[in-house]
Chain A
Amino acid sequence: MSGDQIKNLEAEFEARIARDEKIEPKDWMPEKYRQTHIRQISQHAHSEIVGMLPEGNWITRAPSLRRKVALLAKVQDEAGHGLYLYSACETLGITRDELYEQLHSGKAKYSSIFNYPTVTWADMGAIGWLVDGAAIINQVPLCNTSFGPYARAMVRVCKEESFHQRQGYEIMLKLCNGTPEQKEMAQDALNRWWWPSLMMLGPTDDMSVHTEQSMKWKLKRKTNDELRQQFIDQTVPQADILGLTIPDPDLKWNEERQSYDFGEINWDEFWQVVKGHGPMNKERMKARVGAWERGEWVRDAAMAHAEKQQERKNKQVV
Chain B
Amino acid sequence: MKNKNLYNYILGIADNSLILGQRLGELCGHGPSLETDIACTNMSLDLLGQVRSYYQYAAKIAGDGRTEDDIAMLRKEREYFNVLLVEQPNTDFGYTMARQFLFDVYHFLMLTELEKSTDLNLSAIAKKSIKEVSYHKRFSSDWIKRLGDGTEESHSRIQTAINDLWTYTDELFHQTEADKAIVAEGVGVDVTKLKDAYYEEVNAVLEEATLSVPQSKYFQKGGKQGIHTEHMGYLLADLQYMQRTYPNMEW
A299 touches B38 (CB 8 A): no
A301 touches B151 (CB 8 A): yes
B151 in complex: contacting residue of A66, A69, A75, A304, CB < 8 Å:
A304
- With A65-B48, A65-B55, A304-B150 already in contact, the answer to whether A49 and B34 are too (CB < 8 A) is yes
State the majority secondary structure of interface residues on B: helix
CA distance A68 to B72 in the complex (A): 12
A287 beta carbon closer than 8 Å to chain B:
yes
Q: Which 10 A-B pairs have the closest CB atoms?
A: A295-B32, A301-B150, A301-B154, A63-B242, A52-B29, A56-B29, A63-B251, A298-B32, A60-B238, A76-B41
Would you list which residues of chain A between 62 and 80 have a CB under 8 Å from chain B? 62-69, 72-73, 75-76, 79-80
B69 in complex: contacting residue of A65, A73, A297, CB < 8 Å:
A65
Query: In the assembled complex, how far is the CB of residue A264 from the closest CB belonging to chain B, in whole angstroms?
Result: 35
Central interface residue in A68, A75, A179, A295, by most chain B CB within 10 Å: A68
Contacts of A59 in B (CB 8 A): 25-26, 28
CA distance A308 to B154 in the complex (A): 14
- With A69-B52, A300-B150 already in contact, the answer to whether A291 and B69 are too (CB < 8 A) is no
B242 touches A61 (CB 8 A): yes
Residues 208-229 of chain B: 1 if any A CB is under 8 Å from the residue's CB, otherwise 0?
A: 0000000000000000000000
In this complex, the interface size class of chain B, counting residues with CB under 8 Å from chain A, is 35 or more
Chain B residue nearest to A68 (CB atoms) is: B48
A82 beta carbon closer than 8 Å to chain B:
yes
Would you list which residues of chain A between 27 and 68 have a CB under 8 Å from chain B? 49, 52-53, 56, 59-68
A305 touches B150 (CB 8 A): yes
CA distance A82 to B33 in the complex (A): 11
B52 touches A75 (CB 8 A): no
A83 beta carbon closer than 8 Å to chain B:
yes
Would you list which residues of chain B between 86 and 103 have a CB under 8 Å from chain A? 92-93
CA distance A248 to B145 in the complex (A): 58
B171 beta carbon closer than 8 Å to chain A:
no
A61 in complex: contacting residue of B32, B33, B241, CB < 8 Å:
B241
Would you list which residues of chain B between 36 and 77 have a CB under 8 Å from chain A? 36-38, 41-42, 44-45, 48-49, 51-52, 55, 68-69, 72-73
Query: In the assembled complex, how far is the CB of residue B22 from the closest CB belonging to chain A, in whole angstroms?
Result: 6
- With A59-B26, A65-B72, A72-B28 already in contact, the answer to whether A295 and B41 are too (CB < 8 A) is no
A110 beta carbon closer than 8 Å to chain B:
no
Query: In the assembled complex, how far is the CB of residue B141 from the closest CB belonging to chain A, in whole angstroms?
Result: 13
B196 beta carbon closer than 8 Å to chain A:
no
B147 in complex: contacting residue of A69, A75, A287, A301, CB < 8 Å:
A301
A181 beta carbon closer than 8 Å to chain B:
yes
Contacts of A296 in B (CB 8 A): 32
Residues 154-195 of chain B: 1 if any A CB is under 8 Å from the residue's CB, otherwise 0?
A: 100100000000000000000000000000000000000000
Contacts of A72 in B (CB 8 A): 25, 28, 41, 44-45, 48
Contacts of A175 in B (CB 8 A): 251
CA distance A295 to B30 in the complex (A): 9
- With A72-B48, A76-B38 already in contact, the answer to whether A297 and B157 are too (CB < 8 A) is yes
Contacts of B251 in A (CB 8 A): 63-64, 67, 121, 171, 174-175, 178
Chain A residue nearest to B44 (CB atoms) is: A72
Contacts of A214 in B (CB 8 A): none
B31 touches A291 (CB 8 A): yes
A61 touches B238 (CB 8 A): yes
